[in-house]
Structure formats: C-alpha cells, structure tokens
Chain A
Amino acid sequence: MDAFILQLLNGLDKGSAYALIALGLTLIFGTLGVVNFAHGALFMIGAFCSVTLSRILTLSYETVDETQKDFLGNPLVVKTPYVEKWFGPETGAAIIDWAVPLAILFAIPVMIFVGYVMERGLIKHFYKRPHADQILVTFGLAIVLQEVIKYFYGANPIPTPAPGAFTGSFDFGVLLGFDPNAIIYPYWRLVYFFFAGIVISAVFGFLQFTTFGMVVRAGMADRETVGLLGINIDKRFTIMFGIAAAVAGLAGVMYTPINSPNYHMGMDFLVLSFVVVVVGGMGSLPGAVLAGFMLGILESFASMNWIKDIVPGIDQIIIYLVAIIILLTRPRGLMGRKGVMED
C-alpha cells in the first residue's frame, strides 16, 4: 500500500509537467488551429529564464580582502553579488536563494513576449497552409530555438537548486499512519504539483469567468460568427498564444530544480506531450489535463519493481502503448470533440 501511494505521488509531478505543457498545446490548437511543434522549446526557454535570472542575481563585483590570504599567499579576492550590496547581506542571500520562484515573475512577461512575437512573426502566416506545413515550420523553429540556447548556455545541464526552505523531503507516510520513512517525498515536487494546480485553475478560471475568456471560448466554437459580430478575434487568439507560451514557460521554470535544464529538454518533453494531447483529445482542455496526470501516474506505476519483473522496461513504453490503444479504440481521444481535426 505504501509503495502504491509513493508511486502515485511520484507520478503527480511528472503528470503536472505533462498536463501543463499539454494544456498550452491544446490552447494553441483549440484557438488557432495550429499544431505547434515548438511548444517543447517554449518549455525549455522557460527553464532557461530561471537559469538566466539566477545568473543575473549572482552578478558580483570583486573586492580585495587584505586580512585573508588565498593558497598562493595573495590577498583574497572576495566576490559579492550586487543584490547583497543593495539589500544587505541577509536579504540579498535570501533573494539569490529564492531565484527559481522569483523567476516566475521574470518568466511571465518574457514568455508572453516570446509567444506574441512567434505568433505575429511566423505562425500567423501559416493558418491557411496545410497542417503538415505547420508541423514542419514549427519543427524547424524548435531546432533553431534549441540551438540558440545551446550557443549561449552550452550543452551541459545547468543545476538550478530550489530555495533552501524546500530542499529535503517530506515524510508523507507519517501523516497517513504508516511507518516513518515509508513514503518520502521531496518538498519541491509537492510545490510543483500545487503550482501546476494553481496555474491550471487560473487558466480555466480565466476562460470560464472573464468576458475575455468567454469571447475566446466562443471563438473556439465558431470563429467566423464571432468575427461577424464585430469582435477582433485574431487579436484575442494572439494573446491566448502568449498565455499558452507562458503556461509552458512556467512549467519549465518550476521544473528546473527537479531536472537540471539542458538545451534538448524541450524535445524530450515534446513527443510525450503530443501523445498526451492526442490521448486527451485534440482541442479538449480538460482532456489534456486529465490525460497528463493519468499518463504521468501510469508511467510511475509501471516503474514499480514487481511490474518490471514481469515485463522488463514497461515503464519506458507504457505511455506509447496506452496512446496507441486509446487512439485505436477511441479515435477522438478521451474527451475529444466531434469535428476537430477529423480530416
């Protein structure tokens, strides 16, 4: 039982990442009708926003400390980050420590801007082109973005630690009456799960309870009629693209302490999140979220030892197997709408 709960929890954080990326993909697909292969790259750019911010925060100036000597006997050069100078040593250190959560604030405008530029600059011209062309051009864009990041940040993963307050693990088992150390769960993964929950509810709330969201939903259902009513739906869809980019970016920002970001992390997640979208049903937002969590949890269950003893390596292929089975039995996916991408 404790192993079961542990795997359930383990699946949640991966599932959250899948759900967030798939949510953004579905938003873009549902509004603009574009299949965005560059969405993984947006996830990666988000992750590198957090790397960038922590680098900015640790920008230092050097002072020579005459009282201390380094191993060669020269006066020691002490590096002090500017933030520590401006805000005092303690506040400064705390700011640096909290670089990853702070990067959320940094990433939102950056991602919305990136998304806006991407839509206006490139994707706008592909609405009338076949889906294959959209796939190909965004695939090319993904390669370009990935290589640009590689050029500036190098090919190695860059460790980006979580704030000190969230390191360590939480003994979940004690809470449920199991033995201590039966279910150990890192704090940051818990944070990630709750963060994903907040972002997902925010997106749904935004679509459900604001006028803007209502117009966007109307546009998703029938773009032409909304346009005929004198509403500039294209502009709103562009903003939705920005929001979708921001969702992917935030997923990336918060994922950095779990997995050190490298330039190809986007591609690694992209294939899986496409599978998630298809399983959930193209164009269905709840479907994307549901399928994201479902596949994340399934994947972690499949990596349990006794299952791996029966079928070795099932954890690596279970997602694809499930996707193939679902596509064949329920061609529209779990919650797909009729008439979306039927041709």
Chain B
Amino acid sequence: MFGLEKRDYTLLIIVACLTMFAPFILNPFPTDSAMAQFNAGYPDLMQRFVIFGIFAIGFNLLFGLTGYLSFGHAAFLGVGSYSAVWMYKLLGYNILPGLFLSVIVSAVFALLIGYISLRRSGIYFSILTLAFAQMMFSIAYSDLIGRFLGTTITNGETGLQVYNSDPQVLHSASKPDIPHLFGQQMQSTYSLDIAGWSFDFNTGYYLCALIMIAAFYIAIRIFRSPFGLMLRAIKTNQTRLNYTGLNTRPYALAVFVISGMYAGLAGGLMACMDPLAGAERMQWTASGEVVLMTILGGAGTLIGPVLGAGFIKYFENIFSKINDSILHQWFAFFPDGIEDAVVFMIHPFIGKGWHLTLGILFMLVVIFLPGGLVEGGQRIGKLLKRGKKSEDKGDGDAASTPAE
C-alpha cells in the first residue's frame, strides 16, 4: 500500500497511531494524581513534538542519509517562520499561504546556501553552514536588510508580529483574529474528561500531526528510492563515486534543498501555532538542538529523529518542571540525612540544570551508542531474542546465527 514495503508500512502505521492517539498516550495519569506532572498531553507541548519531529526528519535526510553534518539548519526554520508571519501581515490569518510561502522561501535560501556550501565537504561544510546561519541570525536579529532598504523585514530584537495597521487584504470581520485554516482556529481545543483523566484534542496539533505523517511518508519514499540509494552511496564513499564519472553535487544539493524545505515547513508551522517569529530561533545553538535530536534518536534510521525530537522535548519539559520540593516528596521514604544527600546529588540535573543532563546524555550516546536510541532498542531486542533462543535450544551458540 502507498508503494511501501511491508516493514515500512508497519512503521508508518506505528507513527500514525502514535501521533493520532498522542493525547491519550501522553496523558497516562489522572489530572489530580501526584504523577500528573509527567503528563505531556497538553496542546503546546504536543505541537512542539511533531513540529520538531518534522524538523528532525528533514535534518536526518541530510545528515543521516547523505552524511553532510550541517550546523546551520535552524536558519531555514527561522526563514520559514518569518515568511509565514509575513503572509499573515499581507494576506490574513489563513495559514495556507503562510505554509506555502515558508516552504518556497526556505527552498530558495537552501538552494543558495547549499550551492555554495556543497563545494566543500566534511568539516568545511559544517563550518560554512555554521557561518551562513550565524550571518543570517545577525541579519535577522538586527534587521539589517530592513535597515538597508529603509523598512522592516524581520523587526529585529522585538520579533515579527502582526499589527492592526497591517494590510491583511483577505481578512474580513467574520474571520478569526488568530491563525486558522478556513475558519478552523489553530488554538481551539476540545477537552474530554473521563473519570479523573482529561484529554485535550487540539486542532493545531492534529494539523501538525497530519503534516508530520505526510512528511514521514515522503522521507520513507526518499529512503527507499534510487535517489536515496545514491545519497547513501555519497555517504559511504564520495570519492569512489566521483571516480566512476558521476557528479554527486546535484544529488547533494537536491537533498540539501529538500531538508531545508522540511525545516522551513517546521518553521512555518511554528508560526501557525503562535503568530510570532523571532531571531532566537535561528541561533546556532538551535541548530545544535536538531543535531542532538537526530543523533539521540538514531541518525540514518527512519524513526530515530522522530523519537529523538519527542524524547528531548518531553524530558526538557519534565526535567525543567521538577524542583527540590518534588524530589523531597519522592525520596521521603529515606532517612532524613540520606534523603537530603540524594536530593543534593540530583539537584544540579533538574530544573534549570536540564541542559547539563542533556549534554551528559548526548555525550554518553555519542560515545557508547552511535546509533542512538534505535540502536539501543535493537541491541536490547537482540539480547532478548538470544536469551529466548538459548532457552529453546538449550545451548549458547545462538550468536552465530543472527536473527535477520
């Protein structure tokens, strides 16, 4: 179905189910229980899950599949946000033109930057993309183009937003004053209360989720296409490809543009959920974040980036919420002295210290588990399988026959 193999089809179904039932899955605890702080099923966070999922899927096409480590991908995210907000300002709050323009504009930027950066590979490519991204960040942060032309393009530090004085030619009094899709407001949420549980169904989230499933589907098709095979060949041995008389640049450029479009789409969606665009989205630490997501989940795998994005955003949210008094509650069963000691030990890693935890986690993954969470899952799966097999056969040489 959809031209997919059975395995990929299963994967797509899994992702689709996960995203569609996310409001249930992410809210496993009743609202007034002590565990409710682990619930992540509120609209804002769920939107971020899928938006960053799209961003990471696109980045993975470039880094995981083709092997080019870009350190400036957040620039395209920012470009997407700015374009979408400009569409609100000029046309009105319908998100469709905004999304359309954000993909187109980020593709144009990706084409330009990619054309120049892809002349070099390896570390030079990383630094070139980094330089471009920092340049675009500076331009957006101080609105240099706007100042040059004597108008406002990015509105500098304040960030771009919609004002009453903006033209909004397609806007009329009957339409909502917030981002909407043909009247369906992105912020509208339907809450379902069942016996202590509360589940939020948010229009914006479901729009993003549908787009992410589509994006995921396209990524699968790219992975399995002859084009994807060529990209894999570029990652494996570019020199050898060149010696066969093949020019790899167009392929690399194509995937760079595609992944820039994914980033632009994610940026556009961000502006759809919240009609603002700021330069901080383009900073190179933001590019670093998508690198973290992809690596943490598993670069080069299909589902890895989605998992990584969800993982980082979930724990960012949970860890930053935990504070000392919650820790004291948890460890109350220890004697007082030990309780204080344990809380003292954990204290640097929670709340504002979340980045420390993330950094350590990231280092551990790079050092011990280069394949990310996906590889971790596979290893555990293999161990389990091996355990079962040796039980069945009653001998221990199952290692010689791998399951696949």
Contact = CB atoms under 8 A, between A and B. Distances in A.
Given A131-B122, A278-B124, A311-B148, A320 B135 contact: yes
Interface string A309-326: 001111011001101100
A275 B127 contact: yes
A343 B131 contact: no
A320 B284 CA distance: 14
A139 B348 CA distance: 20
A314 B144 CA distance: 8
Contacts of B284: 271
A84 interface: no
A313 B147 contact: yes
Given A274-B127, A316-B144, A139 B138 contact: no
B9 interface: no
Contacts of A190: none
A338 to B, nearest CB: 15
B135 A144 contact: no
Contacts of A143: 355-356, 358-359, 362
A324 B148 CA distance: 21
B147 A133 contact: no
Contacts, number: 109
A176 interface: no
Nearest to B348: A151
B128 A331 contact: no
Interface stretch (B22-30, B185-193, B363-371, B395-403): B363-371
Contact of B363 (A144, A146, A341): A144
A35 B67 CA distance: 17
A325 to B, nearest CB: 10
Contact of B285 (A267, A313, A341): A267
B139 interface: yes
Given A312-B147, A313-B144, A317-B138, A324 B128 contact: yes
B142 interface: yes
Given A136-B291, A147-B359, A313-B139, A324 B366 contact: no
Q: Is the interface of A mostly helix, strand, loop or mixed?
A: helix
Nearest to A342: B122
A151 B127 contact: no
Contact of A151 (B69, B356, B367): B356
Interface in A69-89: none
B367 A125 contact: yes
A132 B69 contact: yes
A83 B262 CA distance: 61
A135 B284 CA distance: 14
A165 interface: no
A197 interface: no
Contact of B359 (A35, A125, A144, A327): A144
B120 interface: yes
B293 interface: no
Interface in A244-291: 267, 271, 274-275, 278, 282
B39 interface: no
A323 B128 CA distance: 8
A148 interface: yes
B144 A317 contact: yes
B31 interface: no
A141 interface: yes
A333 to B, nearest CB: 9
Given A151-B353, A267-B285, A313-B142, A140 B362 contact: yes
A137 interface: yes
B132 A278 contact: no
Contacts of A323: 127-128, 131
B295 interface: yes
Given A147-B356, A271-B284, A136 B366 contact: yes
A312 B355 CA distance: 36
Contacts of A313: 138-139, 142, 144, 147-148
Given A275-B131, A323-B131, A328 B69 contact: no
B147 A271 contact: no
A176 B358 CA distance: 54
B126 interface: yes
Contacts of B147: 312-313
A271 B359 contact: no
B131 A320 contact: yes
A222 B295 CA distance: 34
Contacts of B123: 35, 131, 135, 282, 341
Most buried by A among B123, B144, B355, B367: B123
B353 A133 contact: no
B370 A133 contact: yes
Interface string B43-73: 0000000000000000000000001010000
11 contacts: A133-B370, A139-B362, A143-B358, A147-B359, A151-B348, A274-B127, A313-B144, A316-B139, A317-B135, A323-B131, A343-B239
Given A132-B67, A144-B360, A341-B122, 5 more contacts: A131-B123, A133-B366, A140-B366, A320-B131, A341-B123
Interface of B: 67, 69, 116, 119-124, 126-128, 130-132, 134-135, 138-139, 142, 144, 147-148, 239, 284-285, 288, 291, 295, 348, 353, 355-356, 358-360, 362-363, 366-367, 370
